[in-house]
Amino acid sequence: MYPLTRLYARKISGQKLIYIFFACFFTASFFYAFLMGKPQIEEMLNINIGIVGRKNFPEFMMRFYVGTVGILFNVFLMTLFICEEDRNKMLYQPLLHGESRSRMIRSKIDAAVLMSVIFVFLTAFINYLTAFMRWGCEIFEQAAVIRTVMKYLLSGIYMSVITIGIVALCIYTRNTWKTIFSAIIYLLIDQLIDNANIVFLQKIWVGYYFNRWTFTYEYQNIPFSELLIGISIMVLYGIIFFQISLFRTKKVDF
Amino acid sequence: MITRLLSIQYVRLKRQKILYLFFVVMAVVIISNALECAGSSEEGGMGYYAGGRFPTMCMQSYIDIIGTLFLSFISAVLICGEKASGMFQQPLLNGVSKKQLLIAKTVSIFTVALICFLFVAIVSIGTGFFLWGSHIFDDVREYSLQMILLAFPQITMVLFFVFLSLYMSNIPGMMCASLIILLVNNLLSQFFGSYISFIDFMYYLYAFSGYNGMKLTGKIIISGIVVNIITGMVLVYGIRRRTNHMTM
């Protein structure tokens, strides 16, 4: 790993809020696993433990991180990591030590993507751990495990693309509140496009396929063709966001 | 002096483009909710809120995450942002006391909370009237009572955000902490509502807005008001203590 990337990764992992967040996530997963079976809770949350429990539990819990909460959490971390550094005049520090602008932003993106993927895998680990504590080996049904791990991998790709998008946004706006607000607008547009019947827009929207994988194909296998198209669209968005970040960094006046 | 400080805060708030953007976003959310309700059957879930229950649904969407995060954001901008940029102590150079400064900031955040809440109430009733006519007034007594009661947890919420902002050093940190607190509170309210209702003022944001079909009973109303008043007093004490010990 490039030393600057390692330095940035260490800087992000030093944020105490990350550990608090995942401790809370573990508590949430634990409560859901152990208390969801109570009839009054099932009725209140409008869920059926027979469907969402056991082998399906890790997939059910995925929606609590990947999506709104995960994106907001990543936005807050990235604004702390980029916008606040920029405001404190720390962003260009590596340039004083002979690093190039493009190397600096590549390292930032590498560290951010690495962290977002680790977070997704951490949620997967937490959900499997609590499910194992509650139902034991019942959760390890081969087909379900392959399907769930596949969905977590796809979530990792989606969250990486969104993270690169957030980095591009941070570099473009160079302002905390504008970045946070733009991310909230993105989440609302994502929801609107998902609910609307504009087929053309849906086909080219970065979040559309992920929403289909999470909700339409919940506890089911995803068709190969849809998988291929979805990943291609996400990778395309990822490349565009990456190029925007590089282009903008070259133009930035520190 | 306090009037002058308040007018400065209001001028600053009026210039925040985010406030106007928030109104646009909330209007889009309300209209999209209304269209979804109008297009769903009552069995489908959303159709249940069509007509007289629509303002209740909009209050729930506002209270759930958008509104609370927005208020946290305003507190973060007015307190953490100014602290970070070194502007927080500027009025102190002109003879203003720390207490007056904090009162002016808290009152201006209260005003924003009130305006946002009234905006949601008026736009939801207006949109509902446009779609369902006078049926929007079928449950007027229920949602008016909810709106009045929601004032209590919202006031306490503002005090809580002011208190938290005094401890946090930057906007993203404050937002992240607020997100975590909201999620934990949502979790506790769902699973341990009957226990935490005695200590957690945020539980009443859900209870008073009829979240997850919670019914408003006399016991909930009284305990909600009492818990919020006590927590509010503790927070005021905490804010005063923090303000006195804070090095600017």
pLDDT digits (tens, 9 = 90+) for A179-192: 988 888 888 888 88
Q: Does B109 touch chain A (CB under 8 A)?
A: no
What is the C-alpha to C-alpha distance for residues B246 and B92, in angstroms, rounded to an integer? 13
Which one, of B149, B151, B141, lies nearest residue B116 by Cα? B151
Mean pLDDT of A89-106: 84
- Residue B146: CB partners within 8 Å, gap ≥ 6? B56, B59, B208, B209, B210, B216
CA A153 to chain centre: 11
Give B216's pLDDT tier (boundaries 50, 70, 90): confident
B105 within 8 A of B162, measured Cβ to Cβ: yes
Chain B residue at shortest CA distance from A40: B191
Q: How far is CA A194 from CA A13, A153, A200, B95, in A?
A: 33, 22, 12, 54
pLDDT band with cut points at 50, 70 and 90 for residue B14 = confident
Residue A229 pLDDT > 90: yes
Measuring CA to CA, which residue among A69, A76, A67, A70 is closest to residue A194?
A67
- Distance in Å from the first CA to the final CA of chain B: 20
pLDDT of residue B118: 92
> Do A161 and A207 form a contact (C-beta atoms < 8 A)?
no
- Comparing A27-31, B159-163, B189-193, the range with the smallest average pLDDT is B189-193
d(CA B145, CA B148): 5
- Do residue A31 and residue B32 have CB atoms under 8 angstroms apart? no
> What local confidence, expressed as pLDDT, does residue A238 receive?
95
Residue B98 tokens read as 């720390």
Q: Is B172 within 8 Å of A83 when comparing Cβ atoms?
A: yes
Q: How far is B88 from B110, CA to CA, in rounded Å?
A: 19
Q: How far apart are CA B33 and CA B50, in angstroms?
A: 10
> b vs e for B90-112, b when ≥16 Cβ sit within 10 Å of the residue's Cβ?
ebeeeebebebbbbbbbebbbeb
Which residue type does B41 have? S
Cβ atoms of B145 and B216 closer than 8 Å: yes
The pLDDT of residue A230: 93
CA-CA-CA-CA dihedral for A26, A30, A36, A40, to nearest 10: -90
Task: Reply yes or no on whether the pLDDT at A161 is more than 90.
Answer: yes
Q: Which residues of B touch A181 (CB under 8 A)?
A: 18, 21
Higher pLDDT, B222 or A68: B222
Mean pLDDT value across residues B130-156: 88
Cα gap A42→A45, rounded to integer Å: 5
A73 vs B: CB within 8 A: yes
Burial A235-254 (b: 16+ CB within 10 A, else e): eebbeebbebbbebbeeeee
Cβ-defined contact of A77 to B179 (cutoff 8 Å) = no
**Rg, chain A, Cα only:** 19
Q: With cut-offs at 50, 70 and 90, classify the pLDDT of residue B44.
A: low
- The rounded distance, in Å, linking the Cα atoms of B169 and B174 is 8
Whether the predicted pLDDT of A62 surpasses 80: yes
For residue B235, the one-letter residue type is L
CA neighbor of A17 nearest in space, from A84, A93, A103, A94: A84
Q: What ipTM score was computed for the predicted complex, to two decimals?
A: 0.81
Counted residue by residue, chain A has a size of 254
Least confident of A40-49, A107-116, B18-27: A40-49
| Mean pLDDT on A218-242 | 92
pLDDT band at A120 (very low <50, low <70, confident <90, very high): very high
Residue B156 has pLDDT above 90, yes or no: yes
CB A187 within 8 A of CB B27: no
Q: Looking at the complex, report in whole angstroms how far the Cα of residue B72 sits from the nearest Cα belonging to chain A.
A: 12
Q: Distance of CA B227 to CAs A93, B200, B234, Å? A: 49, 7, 11
Residue B45: what pLDDT?
65
Q: What angle do CA A219, A221, A227 make, to 5 degrees?
A: 125
Query: What is the structure's pLDDT at A25?
Result: 92
Six-digit token string for A94? 């590596």
At B212 the pLDDT is 72
Is residue A241 a contact partner of residue A168, using CB atoms and an 8 Å limit? yes
Judging contacts by C-beta atoms under 8 Å, the chain A residues touching residue B177 are 17
Measured in angstroms, the CA of B181 and the nearest CA of chain A are apart by 9
Of the candidates A73, A83, A192, the beta carbon closest to that of B176 is on A73
Question: What's the mean per-residue pLDDT of chain B?
Answer: 85
Which helix (DSSP H) or strand (DSSP E) does residue B238 occupy?
helix B218-245
Q: B217 and chain A: CB distance < 8 Å anywhere?
A: no
Q: Residues of B213-235 as b/e, b for ≥16 C-beta within 10 angstroms?
A: ebebeeebbebbeebbeebbeeb
Give the per-residue pLDDT at B228: 94
Mean pLDDT of chain A: 88
Interface of B with A in 49-68 (CB under 8 A): 65-66
Which site among A176, A178, A193 would you substitute to test the B interface, given the most B Cβ atoms closer than 10 Å to its Cβ?
A176
Distance of CA B242 to the CA centre of its chain: 22
Q: Is the pLDDT of residue A254 over 70?
A: no
Do B176 and A77 meet the contact criterion of CB atoms below 8 Å apart? yes
